[in-house]
Every structure is written in C-alpha cells, then in structure tokens.
Structure 1
Amino acid sequence: MNAPQQIPAGFRQDAKGRLIPESQIRPIDQLRDEIVLSMVDRANQLRDELRDYKGDAFSEIEQFVETSASEYDVQIGGKKGNVTLYSFDGRYKVVRAIQERISFDERLQAAKGLIDECLREWTQDARPEIATIVQDAFRVDQAGNIRTGQVLGLRRLDIDDKRWLKAMDAISDAVQVTGSKSYIRLYERVGDSEQYLPISLDIAGV
C-alpha cells in the first residue's frame, strides 16, 4: 500500500488527488473542508473512546460476575449468558446481552419436504391459513437468507400430525449456532416511572 501523499504547506488535495494552492480555493470551500475534517477527527476520537469503553465494560461485568459467584463457591465457565445489573437506588441498569447467530443445515430441506406433504393434503380440506403461514416462514429476506425467527416460530403452532411433528423435530435438529455477538445496553428510570428508557450511545438516537 502506498504511503499517504505528503501535502505541502499552503496546498490542499482535491478529490482527484491533485494538489491545489489554497490561494486558488474559494474561502467557502476552505471553510467547508475545515468543518468536515474537524467533525470527522472528533468522531474518530469518540469511536476510539467507545471501543475502549465497551472493552472495559465487558471486562468489569465479567469480573463482577466471577466475584459474585465466588461468594457461593461456584465456578462459572465461559462468558455466555445475559446479565442485568442494577444500581443500588434502582435508577440505572446495565444489561449484557449475548445474541447468537443461527443458521440451518441440510435437514431444513427435509423438514420443508414433510411440511409440503402436509400442506398438499390440508389444502384439499380448506386450510389456506396454515399454508400462508408456512409459505411466509420460508420466504427469504432481502439478503437471500432464511428468516430463522419465522421458521422457528412454526414450532409454536399446535398441530397434531405425525409428519408435522417430525418436521418440527427436523427443524430443531437443523439449527446450527454459527457465532454470537455481545452487547452492552444501559437504561435509566426517569422520575417516578417504573419504565426504564435506554441511554443511547447511537448518534442518531441521542
């Protein structure tokens, strides 16, 4: 990778990589450039601070969980599991949430085949609502991925058919946890309300 071009004093680099003397740049264009660069520089600093904060927060929560468990001589393995911590006055709470990424293996196709058998038979008896629910569950999202929540939701349907129940077993067996992502969420209870409102660290939500 080439090193960034050194920009001589009194010049600025334009979008095409050309060095332009500042004397040839309109004052309004110089001011716009300064504002953008200042905002980006500060945003980069905030991003680095947030990265450090996130790392510290996970570490402190993990250490606290281990300290709390040690009072009962319990050894807690791994870093998985959601944890909610409250301030002493109950005004604040901090949540460590672990969200697993789920996909399906080839057994999902076997489940779909069994479900299709059920649907072909049931649609003859005017049960279109079930067909609509199932077909919607197996639609892919905009990225072309199976919507795991919709498919797993089929298991909540109260259908007592051996093929259907076998299909639900196949769906359960097809679930593969491909990874996880951890989050820190902070909440504040305002006034006398019992409802906790999120403390936003998203620039769009502040």
Structure 2
Amino acid sequence: MDVPERKDGYYEDARGRLIPSHLVKDTDLLEDQLVRNLMGGAETLAEQMRVFRAMVFNDVAAFLALLAEKYDAKRGGKKGNMTFTSFDGKQKVQVAVADHLTFGPELQIAKGLIDECIGEWAKDTNDNIRVLVDHAFRVDKEGQVSRESIFALRRVNITDPRWEKAMAAIADSVQVQGTKTYVRFYQRDSQESPWKPLSLDLANA
C-alpha cells in the first residue's frame, strides 16, 4: 500500500504538489490513515469475494457434471435458473441467469403508433393507460427506458390495429446484449419459516 510521506519529509496532496510535513495538519494525516486502512480491508474483502464467486460456479458446474454422468444426460446451457437446497430444507442457493436487454429503433415506431392511438381516443382514453404509457417511455438518468414498464404495455388488451402493430414493434425492438449470472443465498430457522436472504452486499449487511 502507498505511504503518503516521502523520505525527504514531504507529502503529496490531491493536486500532486509536495507539501512540507510540518505544514500538514494532524487531522489530515489521521484521515489519510483511516482511508488507507479501510481501503486495505475493502481490497482484501473484494478479492475474497472474487475467489468465492469463482468457487461457487466451479462447485455448481462440478455438481451438474456429476448429475449428467449419473443419469447419462448432456449438461444444459447457461439459460435457466437453478435452486439447490440443503437436506434439511433450511438453506438454499439460487443461481439465476438474467438477460441484459436493450431496445432497438423499432421502439420509437411503437411510440409513434401509441401516440396516434391516444390522440384519437383523447376523450375516451382511460387515464390509467395514459399514465402507463407516459411512465413507460420516460427515460432515466442514463437515457434508458424502463424495461418492466415497456413490457407492461404489452399486457394491456386493446384491439386497435395500430396498438397491435405497436406491440409487435416493441417485441421486435428487444435486443439481448448479453447475460449475467447471479448467485443468491437464503436460510430459514425451520422448514415452515420464510426464507431470509443472506446479504453479501455491504450496504445491506
């Protein structure tokens, strides 16, 4: 780990300047020490989590390979979720594979068709549908629309041909950019108790 003090009695500040040690406040040095100590612990923990994550996937793969060998079946692909439960039913591990979805230019075509529908239905349109549409196409800080809200539109049963074309355009706009695998751990006190997640998130630990 880097040490802030130079051998010749200077400290480098946040601007890259060399400050004589006698001009640096004690509180600044204590804060520097606090940050470096905490960062050291955080880096160690992050490395342990990387090692643990690799071990989880290796162990799961080995178990699936064992099952495939036992039942003379080919191992499946990455798609699909898996749940592994302890014999007493008090602990379980879930491995979930989630697609990272984005929307192509067809989404704008769908928005135009939906706007036409709402414009024509102005007096008769249910306010709930208006709110649903406005919320679905609202972008977040990253300029992305809500995937769940867009898909919620497809569950609205409207027979207008333009609406149906808009829903088809939404379906065509969906693009899978990649997948990510998540591992979640749960435990409970008894077989009748609700499952409680075991958090590996520092904010929720």
Letter in 1 for 2:60: I
What is the TM-score of this pair, normalised by structure 2? 0.84
Aligned residues: 203
Q: Deviation above 6 Å: which 4+ runs of structure 1?
A: none
Matches within 5 A, 1:155-166: 155-166=154-165
C-alpha distance in 1 between matches for 2:84 and 2:66: 14
| Cα distance change, pair 6–195 in 1 and its aligned pair in 2 (3 A) | same
Aligned equivalents of 1:91, 1:105: Cα separation in 2: 44
Report 1:70-81 matches (<5 A): 70-81=69-80
Q: Which residue of 2 aligns with 1:84?
A: 83
Shift of residue 22, structure 1, vs aligned partner: 5.5
Change (3 A) 1:40 1:193: farther
Structure 1 residues 32 and 137, CA, compared in 2 at 3 Å: closer, same or farther? Answer: closer
TM-score norm. by structure 1 comes to 0.84
Contact 2:113 2:163 in 1 (8 A): yes
How far is 1:190 from its partner?
2.7
Deviating more after overlay: 118-127 vs 80-89: 118-127
User: Residue 196 of structure 2 aligns to which amino acid in structure 1?
Assistant: L
Corresponding letter in the other structure for 2:126? R
In structure 1, the residue corresponding to 2:201 is in which secondary structure? coil
TM alignment of 1:150-189, pairs within 5 A: 150-189=149-188
For 1:24 and 1:126, locate their aligned partners in 2 and report how far apart those are by CA, in whole Å.
70
Q: Distance in 2 between matches of 1:65 and 1:74?
A: 10
Cα distance in 2 for residues equivalent to 1:186 and 1:104: 31
Q: Is 1:115–1:164's contact at 8 Å kept on the other side of the alignment?
A: yes
Structure 1 portions without partners, runs of 5+: none
Amino acid at match of 1:155: R
Q: CA RMSD in A?
A: 2.6
What are the Cα deviations for residues 138-188 of structure 1, in whole angstroms up to 9, with x where unaligned?
Answer: 111122112121111111112222222222122112111111221111111
Structure 2 portions without partners, runs of 5+ = none
